[in-house]
Amino acid sequence: MNQQGVHYFPGHMQKALRALEGYVKVVDLIVEIVDARAPFSSRNPLLDQLAGNKARLVLLSKEDRADPVVTKAWLDYFKQQGIPAISSNLTEGKFQKALTEATKPLVAKKREKEARFAMKKQPIRVMVIGIPNVGKSTFINSLAGKKKVHVGNKAGVTRAEQWIRLGEDFTLLDTPGVLPMNYPDGAMAVRLALLGSMKEEVLPTVELAYALFGYFRENYPHALAARFGIDDITEADADETFYQIAKIRLLYEGSEPSHTKACYLLIKEFKDGILGRFSLEVPNA
Ligand SMILES: Nc1nc2c(ncn2[C@@H]2O[C@H](COP(=O)(O)OP(=O)(O)OP(=O)(O)O)[C@@H](O)[C@H]2O)c(=O)[nH]1
Ligand SMILES: [Mg+2]
């Protein structure tokens, strides 16, 4: 994959980061959402620092798009690190139980303190953080049982922080996605672009298609077989494969099968989850 660094830090992220610093002080729990397909690359070290010693839960989103074996390995990895972590398909909202379990001690502690000092019962304040497009707003809507905040499959949908009250026990803070200031490791940036967390303008689609092809060839050589009716790509050449896909899907430029159009198709189908369930990194890789 591309080894060149990527520098990308728009102004609204700088602003969001400063705002988040203020919120950390007033929240009880930080839910850090990462994409299950690349839980390492989709963690933001800046947010990690910001969270300090606050109670924290790592939520691996989009498990329905990830390789289940690899997701299990990631959950074990976080467990070994002593970091509470759960995985979920946020669009199905089946994580409520796990979340309630994970937050039980926190709630109990808060209620006990309130009782001791005869304080009024306050909701647990949960701040939801993560890089763009990992599902922060989807998580909140799912908990709320209705659409309270905007979601969309592209980076930068949430632009400002917003508090949402959930019953008696919780108040959630939706936040805009924040990326690290730069990616000295170009391969990490490529993964984030494939997950839709980095804007399409930052990394060209054709380059992404080559990177994805190379990754599939090494890790999931059967990935394209079912969808495009082509052979295992272990020995295949990227250009030849793109050419083949273009012919199969009738993607032409004039009378020639279009290599570029095939690249766009491949990336779109990967992003839409049509190709299947794939993880882009494994623990300690
Ligand atoms: N398949 C699948 N899609 C998901 C899941 N969680 C979120 N999505 C989709 O991912 C896209 C991004 O979700 P959002 O909730 O807008 O992400 P966000 O983290 O709030 O993004 P920003 O506001 O841009 O930072 C949407 O198209 C969601 O429907 C999941 O667990 N599985
Ligand atoms: Mg959002």
- pLDDT per residue of the chain (285 residues) written in tens, 0 to 9: 444 566 666 677 778 888 888 999 899 999 999 999 999 999 988 888 888 888 889 999 999 999 999 999 999 999 999 888 999 999 987 777 877 887 888 888 899 999 999 999 899 999 999 999 999 999 999 888 878 889 988 888 888 889 998 887 889 999 998 888 777 788 999 999 999 998 777 788 999 999 999 999 999 999 999 899 998 899 999 999 999 999 999 999 999 999 999 999 999 999 999 999 999 999 985
CB of 261 closer than 8 Å to CB of 250:
no
pLDDT value at residue 18: 86
Q: Specify the CATH number for 6-182; select among 2.60.40.420, 3.40.50.300, 3.40.50.1100, 3.40.109.10.
A: 3.40.50.300
Q: What is the Cβ-side half-sphere exposure of residue 158, based on CA atoms within 13 angstroms? A: 30
First to last CA, the chain: 14
CB of 32 closer than 8 Å to CB of 39:
no
pLDDT value at residue 69: 98
Total-model pTM: 0.91
Report which bound ligand comes closest to the CA of 62. Answer: 1
162 CA distance to ligand 2 centroid (A)? 10
Domain spans, the chain? 6-182, 204-271
Residues lining ligand 1, Cβ inside 6 A = 61-62, 64-65, 89-91, 130, 132-138, 151-153, 155-158, 176-177, 273
Cα separation, 233 vs 271, in Å, equals 20
Cα separation, 196 vs 132, in Å, equals 8
Q: Which of 63, 88, 138, 164 to mutate to test the pocket of ligand 1 (most atoms within 8 A of CB)?
A: 138
151 CA distance to ligand 2 centroid (A)? 6
152 CA distance to ligand 1 centroid (A)? 6
